Amino acid sequence: MTLEAIRYKAGSLQVLNQLLLPHQTVYVEVRSVQDAYEAIKSMKVRGAPAIAIVGCLSLAVELRAGAGGDDPVTFIRESLCHLTSARPTAVNMGRAARELMEFAENESMEKNSEQLRESVIAWIEDMLERDVNDNRKIGNYGAQHILSGVPRDSVTILTHCNTGSLATAGYGTALGVVRSLHALGRLKRMYCTETRPYNQGSRLTAYEAVAEGIPATLITDSMAALTMREMNITAVVVGADRVVANGDTANKVGTYQLAIAAKHHGIPFYVAAPSTSCDLSLESGRDIIIEVRPPEELTNINGVPIAAPGIEVWNPAFDVTPHQLITGGIITELGVFLPSELQAALTGRLTAL
């Protein structure tokens, strides 16, 4: 069984409604940029790379139907601006928007509206393949790096949130590393946190693990330190929504406390992220905007109230892990780097491993 968060063929886009997983598999049609905005905002589709890919593919769908008329550049600019505002913390959508806009503006110098639409659509369609290829490289680099510390043993990995096929175009980032270890026959077990409040761990990562026969155990977020002490965890591997110039990393809330606990237990802590999740324009994690989500995500589960009525709620969706706690390294499609090496690696001044 292949898990697909995104189904695309020329002119048609569907996303798996992740709000209904793991109990129902329902694909929803995305016919417009506005449909994609709503699917991203409501988290039918989520995960930094998937957000960018679905956003851009929705634009491709509209362009194929002739959107923008004689002025596609304005339509593209306004659409990208709208899509980027749906969720502020993950950089991938904003980064894709910047790159795509630059490409569209250059193309518009030489091409008519129809030709411009065609080349922008081709640029967008390429994103799917690029993301899967990058994830496979991340999986491979990450697995080799982790195994280099334990030459003969099988390893036990702790992960957080969902970073797999459901969060990307396929294979996944941190979960891609787990997949690669499993494919090599070197994964003893993955522990995945429940990841309150939205439960990406219990609903989505657990679902991917069960579907693929990856040996996995679910824990609540509050069991993570105990699991590190008792379960012989080899490494913690998480994804990222934005890695900034000094290596500070925004990821699903709860990541920061995992990094602190890993440091206490002497367990290497890795961030797995494609370069499309990196943002060298921000110097430190203090500059990252953290999305705050509605209180109902904490006070209700599937519409059932679980908290005292009237209680005030703070629901930040992400936290920032300081680079000093990323002790294993940042796993990218270019190799594994220490946070202090990231800038040089991304600007081509440093090569893999």
Say whether residue 251 binds ligand MRU (CB under 6 A).
yes
Please provide residue 295's backbone torsions phi and psi, each rounded to the nearest 5 degrees: -60, -30
CB of 318 to ligand MRU, least distance (A): 6
CB of 11 to ligand MRU, least distance (A): 27
**According to CB under 6 A, which residues from 138 to 167 bind ligand MRU?**
161, 163, 167
Active-site hit among 35, 131, 134, 241: 241
Nearer to ligand MRU, 41 or 263 (CB): 41
Is 241 one of the annotated active-site residues of the chain? Answer: yes
Nearer to ligand MRU, 205 or 234 (CB): 205
CB within 8 Å of 277: residues ≥ 6 apart:
48, 49, 90, 91, 92, 173, 239, 240, 241, 242, 243
**Among 62, 241, 248, 319, interactor with ligand MRU by CB under 6 A:** 241
Using CB atoms within 10 A of its CB, is residue 69 exposed (0-12), middle (13-18) or buried (19+)?
A: exposed
**According to CB under 6 A, which residues from 83 to 142 bind ligand MRU?**
90
In whole angstroms, give the CA distance from residue 121 to residue 118.
5
CB of 173 to ligand MRU, least distance (A): 4
Please provide residue 321's backbone torsions phi and psi, each rounded to the nearest 5 degrees: -95, 120
Helix (H, G, I), strand (E, B) or coil at 217: strand
Contact 290, 89 (CB under 8 A): yes
CB of 2 to ligand MRU, least distance (A): 17
**Among 13, 36, 49, 332, interactor with ligand MRU by CB under 6 A:** 49
Size of the site for ligand MRU (CB under 6 A): 17
Q: Residue 17's closest CA among 49, 63, 48, 50? A: 50
Residue ranges that bind ligand MRU, judged by CB under 6 A = 46-49, 90, 161, 163, 167-168, 173, 200, 239-241, 251-252, 317
